[in-house]
Amino acid sequence: MMTAREYEESLRKLNLVVYMFGERIDNPVDHPIIRPSMNAVAKTYELAHRPEHEDLMTATSHLSGKKINRFTHIHQSVEDLVKKTKMGRLLGAHTGCCFQRCVGMDALNALSIVTHDIDAEHGTSYNQRFLKYLGYVQENDLTCDGAMTDPKGDRSLPPHQQPDPDMYVHVAEERKDGIVVRGAKAHQTGAVNSHEIIVMPTTAMREPDKDYALSFALPSDAEGITYIMGRQSCDTRKVEENILDTGNPGFGGHEALVIFDDVFVPWERVFMYKEYEFAGSLVEKFASYHRQSYACKSGVGDVLIGATQTVSEYNGTQKASHVKDKIIEMNHLNETLFCGSLACASEGYREPSGTYCVNTLLANVSKQNVTRFPYEIARLAQDVAGGLMVTLPSASDFKSPETGKWLEKYYRASPDISTDSRRRILRLIENLTLGTAAVGYLTESMHGAGSPQAQRIMIARQVNMREKQKLARQLCGIEE
């Protein structure tokens, strides 16, 4: 297993084509806006080497029998699924943001199931290819970016009817030694911090869409791949001389639009090729795993609740009954998020491939809660923190010999707490509820792993409504 330092050095060896603010970034690892997101991924490597976290952060490979980082593991039991949930909360609490490695883990597990199912139906050898690739990922402890979301173009039209065929990743050319692909994947969290990109279809498909029914893996610096970094609220605070105003200067998350401009993929890295009838299955398996992964939000919630309790003490309001009640409600909502992820893991089951999958219904219920509860937790945090969270002057003003003395005087609350401590905790709350981390905590809570409506559709499909009706009729005496 790699250490955090070895992970960082491995990224320096990549030749990524990355653009931000209209300019190419020659060194993404040390760029002040990207660096905090790299630090968050590095934490997944660091904690795996700590004895106190070994049980959650590592596993035994079912391929090699070696100890591996859990992010490269294929779930072999319900216990594995439960540990994945607990690992997510642990890392969310240690970083206060998205640590970006879940999506690759979820892609690997979904493919371990669906490649086996395709082979059983068509006599193909995708699963053998995949297991060879998995061994490579485990042996080298690689971070994988799971790429599912296409730009989609006109969403009223299926892939094959799009005016621009590149709105969905598709086959541009078939060769004897592989395929050439074209298109893009949007909202790719942690893409520039990854060694590999695992591409999957973004929706269920029919026969006319077969050229879009693709799954494959590529090195993240493969020729023809370009990354265009997304903007975030308050992102340029990270390039200021004094980065105290970022709130969480050490960690963050970042997304990119990933362009595939006629990229070659060798056959040994292709895991689905035009088997359109399995595209929906792959989407569903991946989505179920990834909706479970939002246990990380309960870890970030732990940080936000801790910050809210702290600011109430700094403000001198911690004894007010309404403040106590708000923090109780924050804890109630946060633990409910954790319960949902634990539930879908605990009700997991074994697929024919041998991989254990979460309960799909409960995974979607869990993620539906994630689209709501963090917003209420954030609202309560802002309520307790007060308006100073968004009117606080800059760190430079606090350092200024002309203005600093006044700010130290008028922004002091409790005589036992320094003004510096008070503004630091306020900036952290701002970061988690409004700033760059809000992308990972709030907006990602809403749209990550699919929109709220996507979960509601799956809940409607998975619930056994006829059984519920049968029970009701039996109790009130209605004959079948």
Catalytic residue among 294, 314, 356, 441: 294
Task: Write out the two tokens for 168.
Answer: 């969905």
Residues in the chain: 480
Is 290 part of the annotated catalytic residue set? Answer: yes
Of 7, 227, 290, 344, the active-site residue reads 290
In this prediction, residue 435 carries a pLDDT of: 79
Specify whether 351 is catalytic: no
What pLDDT is attached to residue 345?
98
Which one is catalytic: 189, 308, 355, 360? 189
CA distance 367 to 106: 15
What is the mean predicted confidence (pLDDT) over 300-308? 98
Percent of the chain with pLDDT over 90: 95
pLDDT for 60 equals: 98
User: In sequence order, what are the residues at sequence separation of 6 or more whose Cβ sits closer than 8 angstroms to the Cβ of residue 223?
Assistant: 263, 264
Q: Rounded mean pLDDT of 125-140?
A: 98
- As a whole number of angstroms, the distance between CA 169 and CA 277 comes to 17
476 is catalytic: no
Q: Which of 98, 144, 344, 357 is catalytic?
A: 98
> Is 144 one of the annotated active-site residues of the chain?
no
* End-to-end Cα spacing for the chain: 60
Candidate list 8, 196, 255, 430, residue with the active-site label? 255
Residue 364: enclosing H or E segment and its boundaries? Answer: helix 360-370
Q: Per-residue confidence at 437, pLDDT binned at 50, 70, 90? A: confident
Q: List, for residues 76-121, the tens digit of each pLDDT value.
A: 999 999 999 999 999 999 999 999 999 999 999 999 999 999 999 9
In this predicted structure, what is the pLDDT of residue 148? 96
Mean pLDDT of the 161-187 span: 97
- Give the pLDDT mean for 466-478: 96
Confidence of residue 436 (pLDDT cuts 50, 70, 90): confident
pLDDT digits (tens, 9 = 90+) for 3-14: 999 999 999 999
pLDDT (tens digit per residue) in 10-62: 999 999 999 999 999 999 999 999 999 999 999 999 999 999 999 999 999 99
Identify the active-site residue in 97, 144, 296, 357: 296
Identify the pLDDT of residue 440: 80
pLDDT at 344 over 90: yes
pLDDT above 90 for 377:
yes
Average pLDDT over residues 286-315: 97
Q: pLDDT at residue 439 above 80? A: no
pLDDT class of 475 with cuts at 50, 70, 90: very high
- The answer to whether residue 344 is catalytic is no
Q: What is the mean pLDDT of residues 239-243?
A: 88
pLDDT at residue number 118:
98
Superfamily of domain 291-476: Butyryl-CoA Dehydrogenase, subunit A, domain 3 (1.20.140.10)
Contact 355, 109 (CB under 8 A): yes
- 467 is an active site residue: no
242 pLDDT above the threshold of 90: no
| pLDDT for the residue numbered 480 | 78
- For residue 14, the model assigns a pLDDT of 98
The yes-or-no answer on residue 255 being catalytic is yes
SS (H, E, C) 81-131: HHHHHHHHHHHHHHHCCCCCCHHHHHHHHHHHHHHHHHHHHHCCCHHHHHH
356, containing H or E segment: strand 356-357
- The DSSP line for 182-199 is EEEE-S-TTGGG-SEEEE
CA atoms lying within 13 Å on the CB side of residue 268: 5
Catalytic one of 62, 72, 102, 168: 102
102 in catalytic set: yes
Give the per-residue pLDDT at 241: 85
Q: What is the pLDDT of residue 73?
A: 98
Average pLDDT of the chain is 96
